[in-house]
Structure 1
Amino acid sequence: MTYCVAIKLNEGLVFCSDSRTNAGPDRVSTYSKLHRFSIHGDRQLMMVTAGNLATSQAVVAQIERDLKEDAEFNLRKASYVADIADYVGSLSLREQGKHRGGAVGGGFNAEATFILGGQIKGGDPELYMIYPEGNHITASEQYPFLQIGETKYGKPILDRIIRPATPHETAMRCALVSLDSTMRSNATVGPPIELLFYPTDSLSNTSHYYKFEENDPYLVKLRHSWDENIRRAFNELPPLSLVFGADI
């Protein structure tokens, strides 16, 4: 399992992802799920992945190969980020199709889900979630974020905090808390955590990027502060004696 979140703000795009792909009793595996594609001054694209690792790695490899070989369609030739979302969806479907009805067996699941975001010169930053079926959706105005993987534990804070006008530093902290809350409740989601902010119109690969290991001092401090403030806020909730009277 994994957890990735991407946020579309007036100031730019935020991406946050874990790196755990296996958490068995005797083995923990990690792979980066945040991928960046840069054509400096013209377009910047970021993508996070969840689901079958072989499928997502094959899709990323094909994107890079098509770009290197100047294929009929590649990232450089797209006019819109939505066109690239269609392209990623088709690559994913093609890769999944290799395993349907084969000797692997009916229990094999090659599905993968992607969040693609970025900006092409002359356009606005865009954000899309690409389903295993190849189609995609974009983030809403009211709740401008998308999640893939183990989404339920980290969603409540995003619902409460994230709006288009949210400052990017606030959104980055919110994404970290969202991911840390997920790690606390699900052992299959784990560090390193990757965090990236792409500023609108920068069209540069010098985005704000950081990788947090499990015992990173900032991550530890953030976790402890969040726990303490949650307990304090809970203890300050109105008492039930207001409903049941003093005898409760």
Structure 2
Amino acid sequence: MSDFDDYALDYEKRMHQTLSFALTSEQYQAEYKSKLIKRYASRSRKISKILDFGCGVGLSVPSLQENFPEAKIFLTDVSEVSLNVVRQKFDAVTVLKAELETDEKFDVIFMSTVLHHITAKDRFKIIEKLKLRLSNDGCIFIVEHNTYNPLTLKIVADCDMDHDAELVSIRDLKRFLTTECSLKVVDSGFCSFFPQPLKALAKIDRVLRRVPLGGQYFLVGAGCRDEALNRSIHCPVLGCFC
């Protein structure tokens, strides 16, 4: 992983510089992804506990709190400096060490552009650890960069925080989650088709979700404990706001 301790104190400034090229902002991206989780969650389960795994400096917190006002928000990251920033900025959240030495079970474990900072050989043990922290009908909600989008590839290549990035395609990640991690991918698609100035068009992302041109993609992985549950949360018209 990148040593995000080196980036934590000016992380938002770095993100602003990176995303300005794509005519978007870190706040907009956070809101976008929270709305996607909300749309998915409203069709599957009551969300009482959310873990943002790889939370950085907590950019997701305001939008998660807005979209899930009744849920308890937990955050963790490998960067202790980042977690200290979170502790100073937010009171109504629970910060956990990256080792996840907790008995808590989560309805949603959210990983937003985190996996590409984890080496391919370490991804299995990370996902296995997260599976142990899922509630009975919980899911791992992953957002990653679309390897088929040339603009996305340029943004990643130009970002110093992504110097160690090992991008993974939606096809390869889906195969990894199902065959190696024994998760059921109950939904997936491409997203982030429109920049912030055209956010009104985000409503049609659901129509474009099979078109491999979005800036990112999402995968929803659930345990195979209950096939009836898996059928109930598979939604072919899932809206895409990431």
Q: TM-score by structure 1 length?
A: 0.28
Q: TM-score by structure 2 length?
A: 0.28
Structure showing the higher strand proportion among its residues: 1
Structure showing the higher helix proportion among its residues: 2
